[in-house]
């Protein structure tokens, strides 16, 4: 039985694009994105940080794919001149000898991640505006222009023959007893469109659960979604910092704490915080009233903060698979070799860093058939 495409990828965020680039050297690829602009959901609403891989559960996909993805991403940036900078990050503790710093240091040693411990004096020399008792310095943490990165992924996928259909919403997919190819119903800007593919790859981010249900994945295999919004405030004026400044991460790794990141233009922003949402309220609004909460969190490590320089900026929504009272969960990659489907659930941070490693993972999975 023949099909129009070897692979149909649903979702043109950074992960769908990375997978489209990877698989377009193996076979024909169709990528469908509901919006006109690629990467306009979570992939353009994040901190644009290339994470070192310090935080994740030992042996988890988040850990291994972040470590691998970081190397692949730095190589990619150098090779294709994607604006990026290994600016380095400080994780600051307010109490001396905080056991959380020991744990992170131990983990870094085990994983071979470079990490230095700075005392208050070293910290003062390097970051005079920061108040803390001690800090860990991670030199391999960096920042990236995620838009240039996604443009490069798209360009390379298209050059290798991938068809990237914008304004094309995936509606449903099914297989029949007579034909193992996926019959796929789409809605394009010109109206309904049907096609077929041997493999169905679901990279729909916050809508991955809906896409999985609409392609017949059993409800027992679809993890619950707990959307969790993170807001950002920009900080006008010159940056008071040279590095990214992070407090210690939140309990259960719900978030990494309201941190200071710099973009490649040197503009500082603070965030994201964590706010669990009802799944029918996925708005990106940043309420100005959050300023007080931000100011008190930031003052713990940046006492000279001028609250008036904080302006509501943007928000992103993490597609979490656990709620506030549950333990942190891993990426959930549901592969069915027989059915030829791959569903990616819960691709929250470090999904940007891990994107090229997720693409390698997808390639290995579809090549095993
Ligand atoms: C606040 C925040 C901060 C973060 N910071 C970082 C960071 O600093 N570093 C890092 O490594 N990671 C970070 N992340 C995580 C990272 O942004 C995500 O892991 C990554 O962007 C996920 O990409 P994706 O392609 O899986 O999802 P998305 O970007 O959400 O893409 C999914 C796409 O699927 C499309 N889609 C959905 N349904 C359909 C349909 N039916 N038909 C067609 N298209 C559909 C959507 O329109 C969307 O474009 C952060 C995330 C958040 C929320």
The answer to whether the beta carbons of residues 356 and 76 sit under 8 Å apart is: yes
Q: Using the mean position of ligand 1's atoms as its centre, give its distance from the Cα of residue 213 in Å.
A: 19
DSSP for 116-150, please give it.
Answer: EEEEHHHHHHH-TT---SEEEEETT-EEE-HHHHH
Instruction: Dig out the tokens for 17 from the structure.
Output: 């694009």
Q: Is the pLDDT of residue 253 over 90?
A: no
The answer to whether the beta carbons of residues 115 and 136 sit under 8 Å apart is: yes
Q: Which residues of 211-226 are buried (b: 16+ CB within 10 A; e: fewer)?
A: bbebbebeeeebbebb
Q: Is the pLDDT of residue 314 over 80?
A: yes
Rounded distance, CA 116 to CA 131, Å?
Answer: 18
pLDDT given for residue 179 in this prediction:
81
Based on its alpha-carbon atoms, the radius of gyration of the chain, rounded to whole angstroms, reads 21
Q: Is the pLDDT of residue 369 over 70?
A: no
Alpha-carbon dihedral angle through residues 322, 16, 187, 189, given to the nearest 10 degrees: 120
- Determine the average pLDDT of the residues in 22-37: 98
Instruction: Dig out the tokens for 242 from the structure.
Output: 């040279």
Q: Using the mean position of ligand 1's atoms as its centre, give its distance from the Cα of residue 205 in Å.
A: 5
Rounded distance, CA 192 to CA 317, Å?
Answer: 29
211 touches ligand 1 (CB under 6 Å): yes
Q: Using the mean position of ligand 1's atoms as its centre, give its distance from the Cα of residue 346 in Å.
A: 10
Rounded distance, CA 318 to CA 247, Å?
Answer: 19
Q: Is the pLDDT of residue 187 over 70?
A: yes
For 36, the 3-state DSSP assignment is coil
350 touches ligand 1 (CB under 6 Å): yes
Split at pLDDT 50, 70, 90, the class of 136 is very high
Residue nearest to atom 18 of ligand 1 (CA): 351
164 touches ligand 1 (CB under 6 Å): no
Phi, psi of 41 (to 5 degrees): -95, -125
pLDDT given for residue 323 in this prediction:
92
46 touches ligand 1 (CB under 6 Å): yes
Residue nearest to atom 37 of ligand 1 (CA): 204
154 touches ligand 1 (CB under 6 Å): no
pLDDT given for residue 2 in this prediction:
85
The answer to whether the beta carbons of residues 143 and 264 sit under 8 Å apart is: yes
Quote the strand ranges of the chain, DSSP E. 5-10, 29-32, 49-50, 84-85, 89-93, 116-119, 134-138, 142-144, 163-165, 169-174, 182-188, 191-202, 226-235, 244-246, 259-262, 268-271, 275-276, 310-320, 332-336, 341-345
Residue with tokens 């249900």: 213
Could you give all domains of the chain from N- to C-terminal order, each with its CATH number?
Answer: 5-47+147-223+330-367 (3.50.50.60), 87-141+225-320 (3.30.9.10)
Torsion sign, CA atoms 304, 306, 312, 314? negative
């Amino acid at each position: 039985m023949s099909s129009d495409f070897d692979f149909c990828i649903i979702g043109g965020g950074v992960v769908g694009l990375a997978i489209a680039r990877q698989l377009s050297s193996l076979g024909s690829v169709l990528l469908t994105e509901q919006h006109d602009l690629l990467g306009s959901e979570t992939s353009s609403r994040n901190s644009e940080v290339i994470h070192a891989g310090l935080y994740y559960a030992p042996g988890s996909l988040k850990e291994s794919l972040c470590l691998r993805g970081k190397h692949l991403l730095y190589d990619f940036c150098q090779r294709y001149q994607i604006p990026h900078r290994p600016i380095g990050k400080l994780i600051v503790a307010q109490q001396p000898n905080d056991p959380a710093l020991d744990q992170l240091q131990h983990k870094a040693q085990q994983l071979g991640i470079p990490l230095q411990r700075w005392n208050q004096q070293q910290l003062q020399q390097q970051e005079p505006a920061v108040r803390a008792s001690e800090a860990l310095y991670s030199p391999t943490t960096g920042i990236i222009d995620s838009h240039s990165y996604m443009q490069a992924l798209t360009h390379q996928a298209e050059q290798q023959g991938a068809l990237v259909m914008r304004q094309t919403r995936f509606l449903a997919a099914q297989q029949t007893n007579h034909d193992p190819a996926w019959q796929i119903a789409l809605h394009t800007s010109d109206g309904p469109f049907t096609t077929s593919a041997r493999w169905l790859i679901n990279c729909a981010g916050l809508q991955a659960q809906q896409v999985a249900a609409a392609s017949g994945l059993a409800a027992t295999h679809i993890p619950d979604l707990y959307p969790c919004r993170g807001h950002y405030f920009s900080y006008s004026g010159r940056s008071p910092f040279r590095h990214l400044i992070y407090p210690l991460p939140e309990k259960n790794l719900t978030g990494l704490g309201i941190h200071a990141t710099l973009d490649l233009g040197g503009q500082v922003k603070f965030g994201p915080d964590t706010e669990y949402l009802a799944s029918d309220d996925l708005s990106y609004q940043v309420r100005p009233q959050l300023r007080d909460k931000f100011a008190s969190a930031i003052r713990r490590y940046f006492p000279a903060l001028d609250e008036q320089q904080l302006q509501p900026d943007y928000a992103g929504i993490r597609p979490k698979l656990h709620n506030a009272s549950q333990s942190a969960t891993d990426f959930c990659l549901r592969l069915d070799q027989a059915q030829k489907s791959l569903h990616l659930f819960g691709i929250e941070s470090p999904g940007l860093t891990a994107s090229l490693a997720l693409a390698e993972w997808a390639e290995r999975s579809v090549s095993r058939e």
